[in-house]
Amino acid sequence: MARRYDSRTTIFSPEGRLYQIEYAMEAISHAGTVLGVLAKDGVVLAAEKKVTGKLLDLSSVKEGGYGGSGEKIFLLNRNVIAGVAGFSADANSLINYSRQSAQRHLFSYNEDIPVEQLVQRLCDLKQGYTQYGGAFIPLCVTSSLHMATGLRPFGVSLLYAGYDPHYQFQLYHSDPSGNYSGWKATCIGANNGTAQSLLKQEYKEDISVEDAIDLVIRVMSKTMDSTTLSSEKLEFATLKLDETTRQPVAKIYRPADVDALLAKQGIGKKDGDVEMK
């Protein structure tokens, strides 16, 4: 029955459903887990990497930087980081759009963009891909070309961890439909149901960043497909305030930092495993 209504993103089924959006969300549910926890003094993000292998060139990752520590966590602005679950190519397009929006706001108003405003701008773009049957083409172009140029929804969901002076630390989630919502703790990607259940049981309102890191590692260890956690499978990031300047500071952990963090929690690699150096 669905095949009559899923050929275009703009066709509603008799039940009021957009099947292409649901297909995109199904693709995301098979992606690597991304988990976020909001603390009273910061935000913690962790993500499972799916693309691994001994022949991958990870030299740029080892040296650090804010372009992303791998494939899952990216710096959008000084005050916002994001974790992505879904198709990496779609995520790269949205990440670039978000960075440009943040920089335009900084250039115009000489201040960091509010977190929810950045999320809204990105969701407006994603919602457009569920409403128009073709690409955004000027009206002077013929309708036949308009119909021939198709669009599909972005096959990616994002978790945004951010800070602004008005609402302090925030954690948002957005999906391919353009919907977004604020969370205290949430998970997207594979095994998100299990992770949500664990977060409901163990999350506390006055949790600190250090306790949030412990919680994230415990939940990831129980939900990731890998039997052991390591920097080859896990990305990690925190957003806190600098104690001196009181400005937001994003830290995307290098592989060595991730391994050290896991070793501190007693959930690192076994002795027989090869360490990333």
Average pLDDT per consecutive 10 residues, the chain (277 residues; last block may be shorter) = 67 86 91 94 92 67 51 93 93 95 96 96 92 54 42 92 95 95 95 93 93 94 79 92 91 90 76 46
Q: What is the pLDDT of residue 243?
A: 86
Give CA–CA dist 156/37, Å, rounded.
20
DSSP code, position 244: T
Q: How many CB atoms lie within 10 A of CB 163?
A: 24
Contact 35, 46 (CB under 8 A): yes
Q: Is residue 206 part of a domain?
A: yes
Q: Give residue for tokens 């089924």.
A: 13
Q: Is residue 83 part of a domain?
A: yes
234-241 vs 185-188, strand pairing mode: unpaired
Parent domain of 160: 26-133+153-261
Q: Is residue 140 part of a domain?
A: no
Contact 244, 50 (CB under 8 A): no
Q: Is residue 71 part of a domain?
A: yes
CATH number of the domain residue 205 falls in: 3.60.20.10
pTM, whole model, 2 decimals?
0.85
Q: Is residue 15 part of a domain?
A: no
Q: Is residue 268 part of a domain?
A: no
Give how far Cα 82 sits from Cα of 141, 206, 244, 268, 270, Å.
Answer: 37, 23, 25, 25, 30
Q: What is the pLDDT of residue 142?
A: 38
* Residue 84, strand partner residues: 158
Domain count, the chain: 1
Contact 189, 33 (CB under 8 A): yes
Residue 261, φ and ψ in degrees, nearest 5: -65, -45
Q: Is residue 107 part of a domain?
A: yes
Contacts of 3 (CB under 8 A, 6+ apart): none
The closest of 7, 31, 34 to 19, measured between CA atoms, is 7
Q: Is residue 17 part of a domain?
A: no
Contacts of 10 (CB under 8 A, 6+ apart): 18, 130, 131, 132, 133
Give how far Cα 192 sits from Cα of 29, 154, 198, Å.
Answer: 8, 19, 10
